[in-house]
Structure 1
Amino acid sequence: MELHLLDFVSFFGYFVFLSFIGWYMGRAKKQAASDYFLAGKTLPWYVVGSSYIAANISTEHFLGMIGAAVLYGIVVATPEWSSVIAFSFLIWLFIPFLLGSKVYTTPEFLERRFNKEIRLLFALITLLANVTAFMAPVIYGGGLIVEEALGFNALFGLNADAVAAGYIPNWGLFVSIFLIAFASGVWAIWGGLKSVAWMDVLTIVIMLVGGFLVTFLGLSYLGEGSILSGFSEMIDANQCGDGWSAAWLGENVPNMLAGVSAGADYNRLSVLQPINHATTPWTHWVFSFFYIGLWYTVINQHMIQKVFAAKNIYHARMGMVFASFLKLLLPFIVVVPGLIWFAMKPEFLSTGNWPLMSEEANKTYILMISKLVPPFMTGLLLAALFGAIQSTVSSVLNSTSTIFTLDFYKMYINRRATERQEIRMGKLSGGLILAVSVLLAIMLAMTKINIFVYIQTLYTFIAPPFSAIFLIGMLWKRVNGRDALTAIIVSFALGALLKYLEYGPLAESQTAFAQFVKPFANQGLMVWAVAVLTAVVSACFTSSPAGEQVGEGLVFSFSNLSTLKEGLGRRWYSGVFFWWALSFVLMVVLIVYFSIVF
């Protein structure tokens, strides 16, 4: 990219202001562990919601999701809009339980409900997931943005063709990865969750303003100055009725739907896709909360930690309502640009090479900024992208160090650790975790993979077993720790078997069974169902858990329904129910529009 002086002014100005917020909010000396790990439980609803979504938005969205939208269409918006369903469960059912338990981490909650073994296993899987499914791909994607924008390879005098062919290492990308990791980790390690959460508010504001600017400029470009005409042009191209888009879709549809041949029907403007869709079959809408949404939104530490840090239950619930509205907006800045870029017919679509198209599609957003956005705003948008990366990495770093400190260090290494020692260990472990993530990000940089598909594949392998035991353990007192452990072992074994079948015996198969098994979303559903069934069967042959493991706040009971009515607000116009209902209705409208209308 050719950056103007004004771009550097806005870019560095943004980070100076962001750093000031991080310093100011984290400047107070941390006396208690809750001050460092949970921001002293002082976050208001707008910070809870902003930080929750900022931690969620990263290169998976601005690179992977937009890139996937170029290839698959509007269906990649499904994980965002369906999140409102998951948030609804969190708002109405899980927040009272989690806050009532007065725990710092979700592994701690699982120990109280099941046993120490489940806590240890979940904490270990969380550490691995945070590094492999969150931090590493986010840092790698951030490195792609830095290298594409600033061109370190050119600065180092490296031949671009030789780098692309793999004849020489991509040193520019490696340097970019190190810079992203350093810039992202500083405030998370120094200031703790309070610094991270308040920086996220600025990040969300700039991200939304800048994201909508790209969308509007893209539509204006398609419509030769008219946004409405551009929208019509985008719709026409993505309907693939005739011309180049119809030919492209007919040739590439076998990469989107398992087991079909060239020329098969495919609707790029529908969020409801067949059961054999490669990334997002219709089952995602119906069942995704159970096999992935429950894990991601409720027991995923780096997300739920913002809820733990809320002032009270009202701010926790209202924060998630605010997050619901942000989720409804997100596809208009991280999916629609992909549809616009498809309509602009980028050259890589004509290669006929799907892996190459997947790799090039990851660069869509950065190329749209370069082509469409004027000076000053280009720098600000690049800074907002870096802010999204920074917020995710910072949140994951803080939560990962929290789990390591409280679920490993405090439990198994130094049981008598003071709160000052816990804070020190949180900072040291954060630095080590960041270093490991950088190494894995470099490994990802040496492969060619769509970030969105990579992350979603990991989610659907890790999430289902723990989503299953958390849900059934909360709803049924009969399930004990041994039942939960058995379900986890069996379901992970099944997940590994399905991956073997996908890339082994069923790789070339066109049978109905193969078409159902290959999409990773369907694999997640099967693993979740088996985990639930295993826990139920096991519970029929084991003893009941101890009384303290099924007490108030740990298992749902009709006798404690009054706790679910706490923190709903005093007036209807500021109440949780009114704003939640509005967000839910808007989600239904979007589903109808992008499934029935088109």
Structure 2
Amino acid sequence: MTLSTLDLIIVACYLLGLLLLAYQVSREKSGHAKGTNDYFLAGNSLPWWAIGASLIAANISAEQIIGMSGSGYAIGLAIASYEWMAAISLIIVGKYFLPVFLKRQIYTMPQFLQQRFDNRVRTTLALFWLAVYVLVNLTAVLWLGALAVNAVTGLALFESMLLLALLSLTYSLYGGLKAVAFTDIIQVVLLVAGGLFLSYVTLQQIGAGAGVLAGLDQLMLQAPDKFDMILSPDHPHYASLPGLSVLLGGLWVMNLSYWGFNQYIIQRALAAKDLAEAQKGIVFAAFLKILMPLIVVLPGIAAVLILPDLAKPDQAYPALMNLMPSGIKGLIFAALVAAILSSLASMTNSVATIFTMDIYRQLKPAASQQHYVLVARLTGVGALLLALVTAKPLLGDFDQAFQYIQEFTGFFTPGIVALFLLGMFWPRTTANAALAAAIGSALLSLLAKQFWPELPFMDRVGLVFLSCLLLAVLVTLAEQKPVPATAVQLSDIRFDTKPAFNLAAVAVSLVVASFYYAWW
């Protein structure tokens, strides 16, 4: 055990405050029982600040903090492209995707696919997302979170995973999305404060007490190769971040899929009071996303100088935490636990939402609202139990789990983005074309992986995306069907945004461009 009594008190106060807030926001008025809209979409009551905070809290978890710090240690600042390009992707989602989804009044992404195409597409994608959320996302958060808890407290890995799972269930199982979203406000404040403080302390140490800027100068001077945003072909990690393809290729596909069509992310925006509130929340999240590399990447780069002999890159963040003084370590550890619990709760709620609304409800369409909520709670418990027993076998042998997650999801995201974009913006797209894109994505990715192994996965994502677009267009044209009645009608959807949103979009783009200009 390396946490002092003061550290434990800080962590305990955080957990107690979290549970009290979750209970407070989850309480229903006397005589009112939670229905599906309450449990899955917070009664469409989320304000912009809760949406923005919850988007980031759901996104930044163990695989981000531990995984991206590890990639910062191994690769450098180039891994921040995932964060900074995501900020611009969020703006695109807010302007062009949210108006369509909110107009359709959907609970889940598979539900939209049924409205637009047919039940085959809905069920196929629902089963895919359930598998990915449980066997990739939940396992990654549990495993990497347990690594951090083990490194700081000495608690065994399985017991650490079990503790994290139980803590997330204590506040999310009863309250649903509303409890998750409003407690995320605490999570984000703690995450940002703890992460920034860790970066501050590490830079102070590198600067030998001369200040943060002096520490940053020393870091850039002694590890200049870690500050290349665009990697050259001879870089040892070029396959992970292939040069200009980061700006022009598959990363756009990955980001649009994650921020636009990913249930456990977009569900917060679907729960907004209205479109304007959802778009304000998206903008808030975009600005927070710009800040994230200071929290999740910079400490990993600093660890190159402070802890140059780590056995695995993913040990960077936990090892840095152990260097912190008593009290500060408790604050940073609480921030890490906050990020882990938030993502676990978000993913569990979204697994429950998809299974209940897209699978179970089709089998029992006449059940009561309270019955569906019960099924959702049981599903959440089952999902976490399955993730607990599969986490170590799936992830135990990887040095950089973040890169593993990206490559695995890259097999499927090209087809998902292709079928959603065509489904929303090309009325003629047929259900068979959507299925062809979804199935073709996996097959083409596997073939490319097998017969073109030297192709960087990000380039593969971009090429498979273009192939899926072409495949879906060819299938649609070959069927020669009239425009389906389910086609999205864009004439009554307003894509124009308020001046404040447009100004924020320009600001986000300029800030991101300046970073690439500075560290080209």
Pair in the same fold by TM > 0.5:
yes
Amino acid at match of 1:215: S
Deviation at 1:459, TM superposition (A): 2.1
- For the 8 Å contact 1:58–1:138, the answer to whether it is kept is yes
CA RMSD of aligned residues (A): 1.7
Structure 1 stretch displaced more, 57-66 or 179-188: 179-188
The 2-side partners of 1:344 and 1:300 are apart by 37
Structure-2 residue corresponding to 1:414? 364
1:2 counterpart = 2:2: yes
Structure-1 residue corresponding to 2:220? 235
The 2-side partners of 1:236 and 1:316 are apart by 43
Query: 1:470-507, CA deviations, whole angstroms, 9 ceiling, x for partnerless residues?
Result: 112222122100111122222211111223336xxx5x
The 1-side partners of 2:38 and 2:241 are apart by 40
Structure-2 residue corresponding to 1:398? 349
The 2-side partners of 1:86 and 1:449 are apart by 28
Matches within 5 A, 1:188-207: 188-207=172-191
Deviation at 1:466, TM superposition (A): 0.7
The 2-side partners of 1:592 and 1:142 are apart by 34
SS of 1:549's equivalent in the other structure is coil
Query: 1:52-110, CA deviations, whole angstroms, 9 ceiling, x for partnerless residues?
Result: 11000011121110011111111100010001221121111111111001111110111
Structure-2 residue corresponding to 1:70? 73
Structure-2 residue corresponding to 1:94? 97
- For the 8 Å contact 1:233–1:343, the answer to whether it is kept is no
Matches within 5 A, 1:339-488: 339-348=301-310, 357=311, 360-371=312-323, 373-411=324-362, 413-444=363-394, 446-488=396-438
Deviation at 1:431, TM superposition (A): 0.8
- For the 8 Å contact 1:23–1:195, the answer to whether it is kept is yes
Structure 1 stretch displaced more, 183-192 or 401-410: 183-192
Structure-2 residue corresponding to 1:526? 463
The 2-side partners of 1:453 and 1:299 are apart by 20
Deviation at 1:345, TM superposition (A): 4.7
The 2-side partners of 1:467 and 1:86 are apart by 13
Match of 1:591 among 513, 516, 520: 516
Structure-2 residue corresponding to 1:278? 239
The 2-side partners of 1:446 and 1:483 are apart by 38
Query: 1:199-224, CA deviations, whole angstroms, 9 ceiling, x for partnerless residues?
Result: 11001001111111111111110111
Structure-1 residue corresponding to 2:450? 500
Deviation at 1:545, TM superposition (A): 5.4
Structure-2 residue corresponding to 1:123? 126
Query: 1:328-387, CA deviations, whole angstroms, 9 ceiling, x for partnerless residues?
Result: 000011111111111225223xxxxxxxx4xx221111111211x222221121111111
- For the 8 Å contact 2:86–2:255, the answer to whether it is kept is yes
The 2-side partners of 1:399 and 1:37 are apart by 8
SS of 1:280's equivalent in the other structure is coil
**Change in CA separation of 1:396 and 1:145 when aligned onto 2, cut-off 3 Å:** same
- For the 8 Å contact 1:483–1:535, the answer to whether it is kept is yes
Query: 1:146-192, CA deviations, whole angstroms, 9 ceiling, x for partnerless residues?
Result: 1111113xxxxxxxxxxxxxxxxxxx111111111111222221110
Match of 1:294 among 256, 266, 272: 256
Deviation at 1:447, TM superposition (A): 2.3
- For the 8 Å contact 1:214–1:337, the answer to whether it is kept is yes
Query: 1:300-343, CA deviations, whole angstroms, 9 ceiling, x for partnerless residues?
Result: 10000000011111110010000000100000111111111112
- For the 8 Å contact 2:251–2:458, the answer to whether it is kept is no
- For the 8 Å contact 1:44–1:315, the answer to whether it is kept is yes
Deviation at 1:548, TM superposition (A): 2.4
**Change in CA separation of 1:73 and 1:367 when aligned onto 2, cut-off 3 Å:** same
Amino acid at match of 1:8: L
Q: How many residues align?
A: 512
SS of 2:410's equivalent in the other structure is helix
Q: What 5-or-longer segments of structure 2 have no aligned partner?
A: none
Structure-2 residue corresponding to 1:313? 275
- For the 8 Å contact 1:278–1:520, the answer to whether it is kept is yes
Deviation at 1:294, TM superposition (A): 1.9
Q: What 5-or-longer segments of structure 1 have no aligned partner?
A: 153-171, 240-266, 349-356, 507-513
**Change in CA separation of 1:275 and 1:46 when aligned onto 2, cut-off 3 Å:** farther
The 2-side partners of 1:345 and 1:443 are apart by 28
The 1-side partners of 2:300 and 2:114 are apart by 43
Structure-2 residue corresponding to 1:80? 83
The 2-side partners of 1:494 and 1:288 are apart by 15
SS of 1:206's equivalent in the other structure is helix
- For the 8 Å contact 1:468–1:532, the answer to whether it is kept is yes
Q: Percent identity?
A: 30
SS of 1:174's equivalent in the other structure is helix
Structure 1 stretch displaced more, 437-446 or 230-239: 437-446
**Change in CA separation of 1:275 and 1:286 when aligned onto 2, cut-off 3 Å:** farther
Structure-2 residue corresponding to 1:36? 39
Structure-1 residue corresponding to 2:501? 576
The 2-side partners of 1:220 and 1:84 are apart by 28
The 2-side partners of 1:368 and 1:524 are apart by 34
Query: 1:392-429, CA deviations, whole angstroms, 9 ceiling, x for partnerless residues?
Result: 01001101100000000101x20111111111111011
- For the 8 Å contact 1:177–1:441, the answer to whether it is kept is no
SS of 2:479's equivalent in the other structure is coil
The 2-side partners of 1:298 and 1:530 are apart by 20
The 1-side partners of 2:299 and 2:166 are apart by 29
Matches within 5 A, 1:203-222: 203-222=187-206
**Change in CA separation of 1:290 and 1:340 when aligned onto 2, cut-off 3 Å:** closer
Amino acid at match of 2:246: H
Structure-2 residue corresponding to 1:327? 289
Rg bigger for which structure?
1
- For the 8 Å contact 2:7–2:329, the answer to whether it is kept is yes
Structure-2 residue corresponding to 1:249? none
- For the 8 Å contact 2:177–2:346, the answer to whether it is kept is yes
The 1-side partners of 2:251 and 2:78 are apart by 17
Structure-1 residue corresponding to 2:167? 183
- For the 8 Å contact 1:290–1:468, the answer to whether it is kept is no
Deviation at 1:546, TM superposition (A): 5.2
**Change in CA separation of 1:345 and 1:31 when aligned onto 2, cut-off 3 Å:** closer
